[in-house]
Amino acid sequence: MIILKTSRLYIREICTDDYDAICSILQDIDVMYAWEHAFSDEEVTAWINENMMRYKRDGYSYWAVIEKSTVRLIGVTGLIAEQADNEAYVGIGYIYNRSSWKNGYALEAAKACVQYAFDELNIDEITAQIRPDNLSSRRLAEKLGMIPKKEFTKIYKGKEMKHILYSRTK
């Protein structure tokens, strides 16, 4: 099911048939450096299933980003119900195949998702949780009109990880 279209991209729900393409992203340590590990096969399956459950629960989550010219899944971008310091937010997330970096795809898809959140879902604030040393994600958030709102510590796999919460309101 296509959720959004941009000039170069289709954005649709992730499905189990996307497993191999999602593996090529989530199992690449260079892509997953902010998580500090590449995902196992089981973690990829769980990640896909969690996103499909979020579609039912929240009406959104990470979506598959398909390059129109090749009809190839090049990344995932979407809206995620998440927490920072025990406060609920709707965040934007983006993870792309390394071969798709520096082509403007993440910005193009994220802009469409933010607009969708504001216009269709009537969400008043969109955030992004970004590790301080993830400069490319920080630059993308700034291109989306986001500004740092606060710093917080997130626990991931038992490890404390500093994050910056970027924010943009409607």
Average pLDDT for residues 1-17, to the nearest whole number?
Answer: 96
pLDDT in tens, 76-134: 999 999 999 999 999 999 999 999 999 999 999 999 999 999 999 999 999 999 999 99
Q: By three-state DSSP, how is residue 7 classified?
A: coil
The whole-chain average pLDDT of the chain stands at 95
At 84 the pLDDT is: 93
Average pLDDT for residues 13-29, to the nearest whole number?
Answer: 96
HSE (CB half, 13 Å, CA atoms) of 166? Answer: 21
At 60 the pLDDT is: 96
At 112 the pLDDT is: 98
Q: The sheet that has 87-96: what strands, in order across it?
A: 2-5, 9-13, 62-67, 72-84, 87-96, 125-130, 159-169, 147-156
Write the CA distances from 75 to 11, 27, 37, 86, 93, integer angstroms.
Answer: 10, 13, 18, 29, 11
* Full-model pTM: 0.93
Angle, helices 19-26 vs 41-58, to 10°: value is: 110
